[in-house]
Amino acid sequence: MSSVFLLLGALSALTGVGIGAFGAHGLKSVISPEMLTVYQTGVTYQMWHALGLIGVALIRLQAPDSKLLHWSGWLMFAGIVLFSGSLYALALLNHHWLGMITPFGGVCFIASWLLIALFANQNIRSSDHNSRYK
């Protein structure tokens, strides 16, 4: 399953670069500066979380059966779709009700990072426990 998150991370980064370039070069004269900032926020979060997905894929190599990492990856991808996707749609369509979707993506991002922290904490506790009994 780690290869799925590697693929999703790579595709998210690929589309993030393309969407970012489109925004920087094609939208300057089409949408307001305020909406361009909204659009750029979507790109920024998409790129950071694309890297996060690649990180989840790499961490899963050492713990392929981790449910925490499994759900973290899916929540991170859902966050990209909901958070960044809603900001792109908001900026391009100027339908402000789309902004109501964005917080759900933000919650997915937060939950994803929390699961990674819980995974790390489990590993710290496990290694501390194992080192005491060697």
pLDDT, position 128: 66
- Measure the CA–CA gap between 83 and 52, rounded to whole angstroms: 15
Contact between residue 57 and residue 2 where contact means Cβ atoms under 8 Å apart: yes
Q: Report pLDDT digits (tens) over 60-71.
A: 999 999 999 999
Predicted TM-score (pTM) of the model is 0.91
pLDDT, position 10: 98
Which segments in the chain show pLDDT lower than 70? Answer: 1-2, 128-134
Helices (H) and strands (E) in the chain, counts: 5, 0
In terms of residue numbers, what domain contains 21? 2-132
The number of domains in the chain is 1
Residue 22 in tokens:
């489109």
How does DSSP assign 19-63, residue by residue? Answer: HHHHHHHHSTTTS-HHHHHHHHHHHHHHHHHHHHHHHHHHHHTT-
Helix (H, G, I), strand (E, B) or coil at 66: coil
Q: Report pLDDT digits (tens) over 21-37.
A: 999 999 988 999 999 99
Q: Looking at residue 96, what DSSP letter applies?
A: G
pLDDT, position 125: 80
- Measure the CA–CA gap between 81 and 67, rounded to whole angstroms: 21
pLDDT, position 8: 98
pLDDT, position 127: 72
pLDDT, position 129: 58
pLDDT, position 2: 60
